Structure 1
């Protein structure tokens, strides 16, 4: 059977197509070709932006970060070569060139944004999964690369666009099933990076700040909803990840209560944020906007963790020793909105932990 001519004017039969790595007409094979085309498009666009001169009138165009371009070219040369299905290939092979761009000091901001978008597309399309060899190293590399993104100084609009993409990648990573391979430190770093964007957006556009806060809220929900699945008094770590007949993970995730304790302590510390009064008079006053946001996140963590919080002494101790102090302290010093959230938090604690909390 002969295929119709393609864009280049060539025609291949199925056997020759198989030798070239494109396979036949099955949906799986077409999906593999689609992934190859997507990666080729992303690499081509990225190379074009990197090579684009900053000054259009310049006659001598030099590219400082040569190893980044070499890595992208090497990836492009391998994309359409015969190989197995993409989900069986080590993801580091095709993710690392984009990570190199993200972490480079000499890459223009538009190229950084494109590289982050490419990584986001790879994760959202589930090109690799938890069974893919090297998936753990790949997802760790993504977190390390995104949280250590190097961005050249540029206009606020471009910076905000890059920060928005960073938020999208962080959320996509935690939503992915491959997030089961993340360590406690990596998960904590994801949340800290998201909060840095929240802080950075305070003096920027309202859209970036709303997206950053929404992303952080979702991250807290994704993390703490796993708490009931973790064995009591355990870190949640397993020496080996097993799968059921349907390909689902069996056993606890790699990250566990350690990151949850660290995140919960961090959220409690935000309740102690103070800023100087705008008029410069009087004592220090607390920033209620940040505190209200932190209390909303704490309340979500308690709602999702539920009674399981009582099975983990370190989390329980943090609630008794730190959270209760701030709830009592600000209970008589807050606005009606903040007081309402305090009451909701106390009510949730009563319903879930009244048998676990020691009141002195």
Structure 2
């Protein structure tokens, strides 16, 4: 009767043979020069957005904005231009050059905690994109800059903890990079000592930082012991390269 017809009307035929096919993942940005340039420019723009809100620098009464910009802002703008320069993305010097503006922000005392955290996050992303092409000299610069990380005093506790976590991320990325054997014993020791200091500082901070710092410390120790069979094979060339003194 009508009730049965109503029930049948609510049933829909089962569709067979229709299979959802997941889209293929995009190729890695470091394999496409245009994508790499866009990624580097995006990271520079993200740091610029944070830096312009909190960077302490007097703007001169000049018509030319470039002349009034803080050196950190100017270097990030220059990086965006460099990334889209002809043949720049294919240049072997681009990976190291792309890191320097972020390293300058990490070292600078003019940048607040938010800007320093953004610079460290961008540094980690660019390192991930360019890891196969990063030379040992670039990794040494990263270790030196992170070990000498400075930011404006009086930061909020949450912002300070975020900076410390980003520092640990960058150090761990250095020791995981393909060119990590070129770091040399002194820079590895600097990375481990910096992480050790953060672990001690974390004892008086949040639980998330405590757990993350201990995890990174364990991972650094594991990487160091995994490197023991290679001791003496490539450290001689780096023996004369000393870590930066903060």
TM-score w.r.t. structure 1 length? 0.52
2:199, 2:105 → 1: CA distance? 24
Contact 2:47-2:122 within 8 A present in 1 as well: no
Structure-2 residue corresponding to 1:218: 219
Which string of whole-angstrom CA distances, capped at 9 and with x for unpartnered residues, describes residues 101-131 of structure 1? 0110111211111110111112222x1436x
CA-based RMSD: 2.8
1:114, 1:32 → 2: CA distance? 24
**2:132 aligned with 1:129:** yes
Deviates more, 1:158-167 or 1:220-229: 220-229
1:62, 1:109 → 2: CA distance? 21
1:198, 1:156 → 2: CA distance? 16
1:62, 1:90 → 2: CA distance? 30
Following superposition, the deviation at residue 176 of structure 1 comes to: 0.9
Contact 1:102-1:116 within 8 A present in 2 as well: yes
Structure-1 residue corresponding to 2:234: 237
Following superposition, the deviation at residue 74 of structure 1 comes to: 1.2
Contact 1:50-1:111 within 8 A present in 2 as well: yes
2:142, 2:162 → 1: CA distance? 19
Structure-1 residue corresponding to 2:150: 150
Contact 2:182-2:235 within 8 A present in 1 as well: no
1:51, 1:139 → 2: CA distance? 28
Which string of whole-angstrom CA distances, capped at 9 and with x for unpartnered residues, describes residues 232-266 of structure 1? xxx343567xxxxxxxxxxxxx68xxxxxxxxxxx
2:54, 2:108 → 1: CA distance? 17
Equivalent residue for 1:93, pick from 93, 97, 116: 97
- CA shift in 2, pair 1:91/1:27, >3 Å: closer
Equivalent residue for 1:115, pick from 100, 119, 123: 119
Which string of whole-angstrom CA distances, capped at 9 and with x for unpartnered residues, describes residues 65-105 of structure 1? 82111211111111111115446234331111110001101
TM-score w.r.t. structure 2 length? 0.74
2:28, 2:100 → 1: CA distance? 28
Secondary structure at 2:110 match in 1: coil
Following superposition, the deviation at residue 219 of structure 1 comes to: 0.4
- CA shift in 2, pair 1:237/1:203, >3 Å: same
2:152, 2:110 → 1: CA distance? 8
1:31, 1:129 → 2: CA distance? 14
Q: Which has the higher contact order (CA 8 A, sep 6+)?
A: 2
Note the 1:304-319 alignment, pairs <5 A: none
Gaps of 5+ in 1: 1-25, 241-253, 256-360
Secondary structure at 2:132 match in 1: coil
Which string of whole-angstrom CA distances, capped at 9 and with x for unpartnered residues, describes residues 142-200 of structure 1? 11111111022211101111111111111111111111110211000000000101100
Structure-2 residue corresponding to 1:209: 210
